[in-house]
Amino acid sequence: MSRNFYILAASLGLFALISGGMSLVPSSFQPGLPANGSLWRMIAIFLFLCALVAAFIGVMTNLFEQVDRRSEEARQATRRRRRGPADKRGGG
């Protein structure tokens, strides 16, 4: 699940870099596109912030999945420890 957020963050970051680069290109090279450099910078900032949010969600999702996995492993280990001696005593 967190891998999807990492991919989303990377693609948004790439588009933010492209938008930031477009703000540096002169308007004569951009026929039909918004020529205002501040608009491209604003889009780049917005995409970059969205990429940061997606990366943060991916990290938090990864951390919570790891906590769930470790707590489940600990629960199974304690269950095995409780059952282990009882099986040895009752089996003979």
Residue matched to tokens 């608009």: 39
57 burial (CB, 10 Å; 0-12 / 13-18 / 19+) is middle
Q: Which two tokens stand for residue 62?
A: 């990864």
> Is 27:35 a contact under the CB 8 Å cutoff?
yes
What tens digit of pLDDT does each residue of 64-82 get?
999 999 999 989 999 988 8
Q: H-helix or E-strand containing 13?
A: helix 2-22
Q: How far apart are CA 51 and CA 21, in angstroms?
A: 17
Question: What are the pLDDT tens digits along the chain (92 aa)?
Answer: 778 999 999 999 999 999 999 888 877 766 766 667 788 899 999 999 999 999 999 999 999 999 999 999 989 999 988 887 655 655 54
